Amino acid sequence: QSVADLTGKHVLVSAGGTREHLDPVRFLGNSSSGKQGYALARIAAARGAKVTLVAANSELPDPAGVQVVPVVSAQDLYDEITGRAADADAIVMAAAVADFRPADVVEHKIKKTADGAVPAVDLVQNPDILHTISHDRARPGQIIVGFAAETGDADHTVLDLGRAKLERKGCDLLVVNDVSGGKVFGSDLNEAVILDRAGTALPVPSGSKDALSGVIWNLVAAHWS
């Protein structure tokens, strides 16, 4: 799309995967590369939007014309997104966020002991950013888009799980990725279904993360027009 149809809008996008440190050198993380969120940011900027990209641990180069705010943990991401939400006409949460973090971060590297004892790691829950910003809208008319990384099981399809997540999180659109077998993470391609507020599946041709980003911005722009 070459039109500047997002001109005058400020969009806030999250990308990458959070890291929850156990000690100075070890963390709980995930294999998000940031490609999906960076594609969303790059394409929104090309369509005229002012773009802020809150990026968790991605090694991708900064997209041209985009303000990039680096973060490490889910709590950092929560602080940056909630702190900037009131300025955003749309927020897209493409980041893969850890639901849990270690209860304590040890100051020095955890070491093996002579008796072979294995340390136990207690986890505590992280704040749910998408749930918070969707249930407590910082700006009237704001559009909020979530992503869902799902693997179906014998009792639930990926879409069933997506619909339940849409209901819980309270966002306007949910992009449901089937990530079984680890697919989508790190790839240039995506295979997604987009659910609208009513849970209706909107058609998305399978293809690149750039193409999916274009479809997402078309839907957001349609809300505004």
Among 96, 194, 204, 216, binds ligand PMT (CB under 6 A): 96
Residues 6+ apart with CB under 8 A from 96: 16, 17, 18, 30, 32, 149, 185
Residue nearest to ligand PMT (CB): 129
For position 94 contacting ligand PMT by CB under 6 A, the verdict is yes
CA–CA gap between residue 14 and residue 148 (Å, rounded): 13
In angstroms, give the least distance from the CB of 100 to ligand PMT.
Answer: 9
**Per-residue string for binding with ligand PMT, 112-151, x by CB under 6 A?**
--------------x-xxx---------------xxxx--
Q: What is the chain's Cα-based Rg?
A: 18
Q: Which of 22, 45, 55, 95 binds ligand PMT (CB under 6 A)?
A: 95
**Catalytic residue numbers, as ranges:** 30
Among 6, 53, 74, 91, binds ligand PMT (CB under 6 A): 74
Which of the ranges 5-13, 29-37, 61-69, 199-207 carries the binding residues for ligand PMT, by CB under 6 A?
29-37
* Secondary structure tally for the chain: helices H, strands E: 5, 14
> How do strand 189-190 and strand 207-208 relate by DSSP bridges?
antiparallel
Task: Give, as ranges, the residues between 193 and 222 that touch ligand PMT (CB under 6 A).
Answer: 209
HSE-CB at 39 with a 13 A cutoff on CA atoms is 21
In 127-208, where does DSSP find H-type helix?
Answer: 129-135, 158-169
57 binds ligand PMT (CB under 6 A): no
Closest CA to 165 of 147, 152, 179, 178: 147
Using the rule CB under 6 A, give the single segment among 43-51, 106-114, 179-187, 198-206 that binds ligand PMT: 179-187
Q: How far is the CB of 56 from ligand PMT (least distance, A)?
A: 9
Q: Are the C-beta atoms of residues 94 and 130 closer than 8 Å to each other? A: no
* Contacts to ligand PMT by CB under 6 A: 32-36, 74, 93-97, 99, 126, 128-130, 146-149, 169, 177, 179, 184-186, 209
